[in-house]
Structure 1
Amino acid sequence: MKRLIINADDFGYSRAVNYGIIDAYTEGILTSTTLMTNMPAAEHAFRLGGDHPELGIGVHLTLTCGRPLVAGHHTLVDAKGNFKKNSHYQGKFHIDPEELYKEWQAQIEKFLSSGLTPTHLDSHHHVNHLEDVLPVFKTLANEYCLPVRNNFESAVTDYITTDYFQYEPDILLADNDEIIDTFGSAETIEVLCHPSYIDKALLNGSTYAMPRLEELDALTDDDINQRIQNDDRFRLITYRDLSRKGS
């Protein structure tokens, strides 16, 4: 059996993103999401999360979008106090690990202060696997005893995670036999997605906007939903279920 976590990144980015994620959950096969606690629509996402307690919600640790929660950073921000763009981290860069630890700890603590319980940790733009960032990410995962996304370059044995991480949600458009073959011997799989409606905040802030509508359409498509949910070879789960192998 393939136990699938279908996870939407960017909860909290904007109200349109939030509503798209909730519809993908209530009307489709989405099971999980991760929340950007530093973004303008984070409080809206917290409220929606409280209204849907069975939706798995983790923390989408953010370093490349919006503004930090902690004041006084020097290596994480640009001249205007915003996080540096993702392109800054494509080559050599300097980052103060203490600054990063304090910022990401604050993002986790803001999540906890909402009253919600996080299911896992991942990061925006996958920055957690960068060489200078990974030790901080691992430290926080250990301190908060949280599962993590399996987007590491080498095998991870010290953390609760899935057997396989699927970057492209288009796999859900394939027939079920092809999906089974793609995941091979993996029993637990996370499928990454970005379902959303479109608003001005998303259009102005993200280079990945319109494709989110297609992802939302696929995740809520009746034929895809029935094909996945009626096949005994699949079970839809969240990160809460990873420690329960038979769930």
Structure 2
Amino acid sequence: MKQLFFLLIFCFFSNFLSAQDQPVRLIIRSDDMGFSHAANLALIETYEKGITTSIEVMVPTPWFPEAVQLLKEHPGVDVGIHITLTSEWSNVKWRPLTKAPSISDENGYFYPMVWPNDNYGPDQALKAQNWDINEIEQEIRAQIEMAVRNIPRISHLSAHMGCTSLAPEVAEIYRKLAKEYKLDIHPEDMQVKRASYEGPKKSAEQKKQSFMKMLKALKSGTYMFVDHPAYDVPEMQAIHHTGYEDVALDRQGVTDILTDPDIIQLIKELNIELISYADLKKVNP
């Protein structure tokens, strides 16, 4: 009996110490490639000169052709399809690739929002529409096929503005298509935790300090940080929507932290291993 007790104690502390020895792995996911020229260039910069490990591309957007070319020029970066069922900005819009009237407004654009909020009435939210699951499936499929045709190394899917959580049947379609096209890397199934700013993030300096605080707080395990790089230039200054008017300034701050030498050095000092979605299959076989 005593031997069994000591064996259990030994196993407990062995597992505890083993867990403590596990590395911190971090995916830096940069979203929304394709919606603007300024975002496209910033996303590539955060990969080339910074810490971005996975880039999410939006297929129906106006700058998707440029995104394709830039990604061809940078074959090392992991790429995901950012499934898009909304068009949120006031001064630039995009439409479904397919004939899908149940998920389009009177002008043929995607609705701005997934869910109703205080800034937009229900008539501007996809959730409140009489959407057709078959049209959603054909649209997601069309986005996948256009992406893999132009960017064959696509490794995974993700959801712009959480659109695939619109309803359980939409999530089911998303999962089904991910498996069908062999893009079924789902971080939530692989014990990947979300990492986010530890503190205020209004200004670029606040972002930097809060990001560094987050890095220092990470314990053993695998994490994912998600944000949206772009440049503070006239093109981005013209892009906004109600409730989010400082887009250019905000996203320039994201670009700054993802390329900041102090942050890059801190990641090295903390022995944080930067990985991509594609790497998840290697660490979670």
Q: Normalised by the size of structure 2, how large is the TM-score?
A: 0.74
Aligned to 2:178: 141
Asked whether the equivalents of residues 41 and 230 of structure 2 are also in contact (C-alpha less than 8 Å), the reply is yes
Alignment of 1:33-182 (within 5 A): 33-65=55-87, 66-70=94-98, 72-86=99-113, 87=116, 88-89=124-125, 92-131=128-167, 132-148=169-185, 150=187, 157=189, 161=190, 163-166=192-195, 168=197, 170=207, 172-174=211-213, 176-178=215-217, 180-181=218-219
Does the C-alpha gap of structure 1 residues 162 and 128 become closer, same or farther in structure 2, counting only changes over 3 Å?
Answer: farther
Aligned to 2:10: none
Q: Distance in 1 between matches of 2:186 and 2:236?
A: 24
State the Cα distance separating 1:67 from its structure 2 match.
1.0
Please, which moves more after superposition, 110-119 or 210-219? 110-119
Q: Distance in 1 between matches of 2:108 and 2:215?
A: 47
Q: Distance in 1 between matches of 2:146 and 2:63?
A: 13
Gaps of 5+ in 2: 1-22, 88-93, 117-123, 202-206
Q: Which has the larger radius of gyration?
A: 2
Gaps of 5+ in 1: 151-155
User: Aligned match of 1:210 in 249, 260, 282?
Assistant: 249
Measured against aligned partners, the alpha-carbon deviations of 1:56-78 in whole angstroms (never above 9, x if no partner) come to 110011000221111x2121100
Q: Distance in 2 between matches of 1:11 and 1:94?
A: 29
Where 2:27 maps in the other structure, the secondary structure is strand
Of Structure 1 and Structure 2, the greater helix share is in 2
Q: Distance in 1 between matches of 2:278 and 2:133?
A: 29
Measured against aligned partners, the alpha-carbon deviations of 1:60-102 in whole angstroms (never above 9, x if no partner) come to 11000221111x2121100110001114447544321110111
Asked whether the equivalents of residues 49 and 116 of structure 1 are also in contact (C-alpha less than 8 Å), the reply is no
Aligned to 1:153: none
Does the C-alpha gap of structure 1 residues 203 and 64 become closer, same or farther in structure 2, counting only changes over 3 Å?
Answer: farther
Asked whether the equivalents of residues 185 and 280 of structure 2 are also in contact (C-alpha less than 8 Å), the reply is no
What is the aligned-residue identity percentage?
A: 30
Residue type of the alignment partner of 2:224 = E
Q: Distance in 1 between matches of 2:153 and 2:191?
A: 19
Measured against aligned partners, the alpha-carbon deviations of 1:14-52 in whole angstroms (never above 9, x if no partner) come to 110000001111111111110001111101011111111
Q: Distance in 2 between matches of 1:73 and 1:201?
A: 29
RMSD over equivalenced CA pairs, Å: 2.3
Q: Which has the higher contact order (CA 8 A, sep 6+)?
A: 1
Instruction: Report the count of equivalent residues.
Output: 232
Please, which moves more after superposition, 123-132 or 78-87? 123-132
